[in-house]
Structure 1
């Protein structure tokens, strides 16, 4: 059983943090208060702010003593992340605070592995919390009243959070004796046929985790890789790169493919749906794109065909990112088309744009014995292409 780390700013939330700690202890679980305040020292914390600040890469002077509260909070968040990553006895991280402390603590929580319990009691938890949670398993609990003293409402809310944290720390989810190795897979509606065939070929051997390539989906898959909760990736659908480059609503981040480089996990990728940028309803498409090749996928989603120049830039970027990966990598190019909309007679069939993409990848990709580029004449949704993805993964994951 690990400890519950109760994290907050003791200079403003001391009573609430100590109350939560005591409630956890009363539930039979060890708990400590970690102070991340940047203004005044607090003697009641089990881990004082100065001790956390020492974990900043540049030391405590980079965290404490700032007049600029924003800079101090940002630096303390970096220090807290390093501090928590150094602990080996965390059963749950319980954070409490307003918008500033929520940003501070959840940024550190996002650095922790998927599966390690994380609970944030926050004044902003009833709104859009995507910026705080990201692709992580952070549980957000709305505080109802401000976390500004113990009253009849905050006492109940904080007490419930403390009991939840104690329960997560005490009752860990056991692993199944017959757990299969896991594979992360990316899919979009226009590559569903490919991924369904791929799953059918591999699910007797592997636990297949499919992620919808909506920006957060790709980040979630790579977070699982960083957390070592998957044993490899079949990244069929890299379409989030389009939105990152062109300005669509489902972008990846600059760190796309970063987990592949860091973990060196077996990776098989492809160019799935690199023919499209995603926008909302047709009327939301930016004016500068209104004359482009647009396709209304449904009333809420409008797709835009990527151009040869956009494909060239994306191909160069993807290949450069993969060149930084030293683990086993196979990247398969479906020369017959990259999505259900990219085939003869379909609205996004554009051989010139595809050639720009494939050429840019081919010219930039640096092959090694472990890193190979494979060109196939098939469409991405052809059975032969799904079989090739499965075959290549088996070869490098053996």
Structure 2
């Protein structure tokens, strides 16, 4: 008897030894194994639990048709689609508890689709020759994906790659044993913020929302946090969102890699989730510490927050652009969106005497917000700073009104 079963996915025609080694390490620790072959041309040494033919059929095609495409990338997309469909179906049926996928660039491309097809809380490990590479776009990453670099393992087993493969085997089985998946026993509010040295409203809002019977998940709006927030919103995972920190939007417009993806601020509205929005930290630009600064920003002072992030500020025209972009994105929503403008400031460092204090640029932003936040958006300008109690009180008043009129459900979605 085994306590947890791990689905192992890969191209068994070219990586049979490596995949079999991971299966052996999982079994040695008392875990169960299911195997899925996403090869196209060749065959595994031993039959897998899910054959490449079953995968291709689930992808709406066949191995013969995939081969006849004559393009490896097209054939692998068929296999990626089929593997994603089957993995989701098998997990729903209780067939496995976690997944580990092995691949080079081609296998990793399929792995990212498979991981996105599985719910939050399912252990997802990708062992790849391109783990952490900039060729992987952040919007392909599922909210709780784990990656391990497959070092020295391009072709065949050796002592170096065994170290990576054995860690992956132990990690996915250990995660399957230890994980506490989201319970879904309370409706969830998704909130964006930055660290408490800059934004502090979550300290006021989180306990107040929890007292009202809601769970609260706060996402760090530094790129990957926004990606995770958008991923969960896309799946309808929130009863309401409080998108109160928007630096990722400004970063996107500025060409910084520290952004939450091209669909930032769009998924909650598409999924029918009510939105309370404020422009927290939308005055700052964050660039990766290693990133070359675009030419149009090079004449500005940059503050190295740490070795990973360096920051500067948006000028008046750029802030007007961000205001227009907020309005444009929110007006695509099919559900209520209420925008709050705290006209005394939108992050701790923009207060008088602070390093980001720029009253002329902030006035331009506020002026543009007043012009563009028109119907169907709801708009409240309040005479306080975003970190003041009055801001949190305004957010809660809107939220309580939505709960009272049924806009926000106080019960868990079926």
Matching residue of 2:326: 318
Residues 319 and 365 of structure 2 are in contact (CA less than 8 Å); yes or no, is this contact kept in structure 1?
yes
Residue in structure 2 matching 1:33, options 29, 32, 35: 35
- 1:17-52 Cα shifts (integer Å, max 9, x gaps): 345446556766553221212333557233222332
Residues 234 and 393 of structure 1 are in contact (CA less than 8 Å); yes or no, is this contact kept in structure 2?
no
Structure 2: state its 5+ residue gaps.
403-407
- After TM superposition, the structure 1 = structure 2 runs for residues 111-260 of structure 1, keeping only pairs within 5 Å, are 111-125=117-131, 131=137, 134=141, 136-146=143-153, 148-150=155-157, 158=165, 161-169=168-176, 173=180, 181-189=187-195, 191-205=198-212, 206-226=214-234, 230-260=238-268
CA distance in structure 2 between the aligned counterparts of 1:51 and 1:180, rounded to whole angstroms: 38
Normalising by structure 2, we get a TM-score of 0.78
CA distance in structure 2 between the aligned counterparts of 1:171 and 1:355, rounded to whole angstroms: 48
- 1:61-97 Cα shifts (integer Å, max 9, x gaps): 8854343333433453344333333331341111123
Residue in structure 1 matching 2:79, options 72, 76, 79: 76
Structure 1: state its 5+ residue gaps.
none
Residue in structure 2 matching 1:93, options 87, 95, 99: 99
- After TM superposition, the structure 1 = structure 2 runs for residues 360-379 of structure 1, keeping only pairs within 5 Å, are 361-363=372-374, 365-367=375-377, 372-379=378-385
Matching residue of 2:68: 65
Matching residue of 1:393: 399
Matching residue of 2:405: none
CA distance in structure 2 between the aligned counterparts of 1:389 and 1:7, rounded to whole angstroms: 46
Matching residue of 2:314: 306
Give the secondary structure class of the aligned counterpart of 1:395.
Answer: helix
CA distance in structure 2 between the aligned counterparts of 1:151 and 1:279, rounded to whole angstroms: 39
Give the secondary structure class of the aligned counterpart of 2:36.
Answer: strand
CA distance in structure 1 between the aligned counterparts of 2:305 and 2:179, rounded to whole angstroms: 42
**Residues 246 and 164 (structure 1), Cα distance of their counterparts in 2 relative to 1, 3 Å cut:** closer
- After TM superposition, the structure 1 = structure 2 runs for residues 268-347 of structure 1, keeping only pairs within 5 Å, are 268-279=276-287, 285-292=293-300, 294=301, 296=303, 298=305, 300=307, 301-343=309-351, 347=357
**Residues 185 and 30 (structure 1), Cα distance of their counterparts in 2 relative to 1, 3 Å cut:** same
**Residues 126 and 237 (structure 1), Cα distance of their counterparts in 2 relative to 1, 3 Å cut:** closer
CA distance in structure 2 between the aligned counterparts of 1:344 and 1:59, rounded to whole angstroms: 66
- 1:225-260 Cα shifts (integer Å, max 9, x gaps): 345655432111012110101123422211112331
Deviation at 1:203, TM superposition (A): 4.3
Residues 315 and 360 of structure 1 are in contact (CA less than 8 Å); yes or no, is this contact kept in structure 2?
no
Between stretches 17-26 and 217-226, larger displacement belongs to 17-26
Matching residue of 1:102: 108
CA distance in structure 1 between the aligned counterparts of 2:283 and 2:60, rounded to whole angstroms: 42
Give the secondary structure class of the aligned counterpart of 1:136.
Answer: coil
Between stretches 47-56 and 384-393, larger displacement belongs to 47-56
Cα RMSD after superposing both structures: 3.7
**Length, aligned pairs only:** 391
Normalising by structure 1, we get a TM-score of 0.81
Deviation at 1:354, TM superposition (A): 1.1
CA distance in structure 2 between the aligned counterparts of 1:233 and 1:58, rounded to whole angstroms: 39
